[in-house]
Amino acid sequence: MKVTEPGPRLPNGGFIEIAGATFGPGAVTGSAGEASWDLRYTGDGTPLFHLPRDWMYRAKIPRTKTLSPLPAALYSGTVTVGDRTIELDRWPGMVGHN
């Protein structure tokens, strides 16, 4: 499903919001077409910096600064597509940023 929006926004207390779907500290909620999700995540550990040198995160190039703040997360909640709902209980995943 593709949803075209004018651009993401920074919600109060969250990381990103696009078309009403939010990704914030400990939670991911939203919908697109007939799919919806309401998930909570937990995890600990150190962030994964994908670039090989610290200065690369401060430089103009590369423009995209790939980072995985929580490379080992556990997700719980529901994902629904049409009339099918899947319950997640501590499913492995990650929180990443590009």
Q: Does the residue 22 lie in any domain?
A: yes
Class of residue 73 by CB neighbours under 10 A (exposed 0-12, middle 13-18, buried 19+): buried
For residue 67, count CB atoms less than 10 angstroms from its CB and return exposed for 0-12, middle for 13-18, buried for 19 or more. Answer: middle
Please tell me the total count of domains within the chain: 1
Q: Is 92 within a domain?
A: yes
In a domain? residue 3: no
Q: What's the chain's Rg over C-alpha atoms?
A: 15
Q: Are 50 and 67 in contact, with CB atoms under 8 Å apart?
A: yes
| pLDDT of amino acid 1 | 67
Q: Is 7 domain-assigned?
A: no
Domain assignment of residue 44, given as a range: 16-97
Question: What does the chain come to in residues?
Answer: 98
Amino acid 64: pLDDT: 83
Average pLDDT for consecutive 10-residue bins of the chain (98 residues)? Answer: 80 88 94 94 91 91 87 96 97 85
At residue 28, the pLDDT reads: 96
Calculate ∠ Cα 18-30-26, nearest 5°: 95
